Amino acid sequence: MTDSPSSRLDRTEMRSTKATTDDTRTALLMAAPALLGLLLFVALPFLLALIISFTNLRLGSPLPLQFLGLEQYRRVWLDPNFRQALFNNGLFALVMVPVQTGLALGLAVLLNRSIPGIGILRTIFFMPVVFPMALVAVIWTIVYAPSANGMMNALLSAITFGLWQPRDFLNDPVLALPAIMLLSLWQGAGFQMVIILSGLQSIPIALYEAAAIDGSNKWNQFRYITIPQLRNTLIFVMLVTSILSFRLFDQVKIMTQGGPNGATTTVMYEAVKASFEQQKMAKGAAMTVMFFAIVLIITSLQRVLVPEESSID
């Protein structure tokens, strides 16, 4: 007795459903460690900070713990130091996102070649990413030494044939933040470069061959093939760079301590200072929550204004 077509179809659907269920279980099992880590080290601390931000918690204070509601957020928003820090963060991100993305794109295009020693060059450009930021900040503090023999002052003097006068970069209100930007650009461009390089290598070579046959030059190939094909990769890189720019802390803490006159202070620096130096845990928590909301809004706007393109097979 042979099976009817309907019974064979039912068995096929059952096997497909079972396979899908097994795949889902396997995926959840493999993702469980990462999800547990996010829960323990991201979600729970943020929830704790949110709860603390509604109180007057202060370490070592004899005053009883009180619920203040949104009062702590009002105080933080009216704090001129917080507003200055927020402005510095925004300016830093406004400069770093396009400049670092453009530099990483240029490096990726230059290193996307099959020539002898290309692996060594890629390693050299990526190497700063591996170094701890604390070490990088200490080294660049020496580079920015204010004397005429300081590396940066000596380099600028040589380039301008002696016209450059030695400057104290990290204590100059105008030059301090650009100095930190230059350090961050040098240290972080390699990370974005690797991501863009992987995107470049996924572009079908047939597109370039067809364009060459049609007589398209290198610039037109870059403009009409490379950039459109890298759209999603570049959007991802800009989002990551935006988030990392708003997390600016280590360089400021080690190199300038927020100075001079608040020229380099950031929200992360102010939050840490409020929590541990001033022992105002509730104030620091409120800054953190507000900053998280601001960054979330900015990144969401980026996703809305520059949506990714869905791939079509």
Q: Is residue 212 part of a domain?
A: yes
Dihedral (CA of 152, 157, 163, 165) sign: positive
For 290-308, how does the pLDDT look when each residue is reduced to its tens digit (9 = 90+)?
A: 988 888 888 888 778 777 6
Count up the domains in the chain and report the number.
1
Which residue range is the domain that position 291 belongs to?
Answer: 76-305
Q: Is residue 34 part of a domain?
A: no
For 83-127, how does the pLDDT look when each residue is reduced to its tens digit (9 = 90+)?
A: 999 999 999 999 999 999 999 999 999 998 888 888 888 889 899
Tell me the one-letter amino acid at 110. L
Cα 29 to Cα 146: distance, rounded to the nearest angstrom: 55
Q: Is residue 116 part of a domain?
A: yes
Q: Is residue 3 part of a domain?
A: no
Report the CATH number at residue 86.
Answer: 1.10.3720.10
**What are the residues facing 67 on neighbouring strands?**
55
| Percentage of residues of the chain with pLDDT beyond 70 | 91
Side-chain-facing half-sphere of 78: CA atoms under 13 Å: 6
Confidence at 15, pLDDT banded by 50, 70, 90: low
Q: Is residue 7 part of a domain?
A: no
Query: What secondary structure letter does DSSP report for 144?
Result: T
For 170-189, how does the pLDDT look when each residue is reduced to its tens digit (9 = 90+)?
A: 999 999 999 999 999 999 99
Q: Is residue 228 part of a domain?
A: yes
Q: How big is the chain, counted in residues?
A: 313
The residues, ordered by sequence, that sit 6+ positions from 49 with a Cβ below 8 Å of its Cβ are 285, 288, 289
Peptide bond before residue 64 is cis, with ω within 30 degrees of 0: no
Query: What secondary structure letter does DSSP report for 216?
Result: -
Q: Is residue 28 part of a domain?
A: no
Report in angstroms the alpha-carbon separations of 246 from 27, 97, 291. 32, 11, 9
pLDDT of residue 80: 93
Contact 165, 203 (CB under 8 A): no
pLDDT of residue 8: 53
For 27-64, how does the pLDDT look when each residue is reduced to its tens digit (9 = 90+)?
A: 888 888 888 998 988 889 889 989 999 998 888 777 78
DSSP per-residue string spanning 246-263: HT--HHHHHHTTT-STTS
Q: Is residue 169 part of a domain?
A: yes
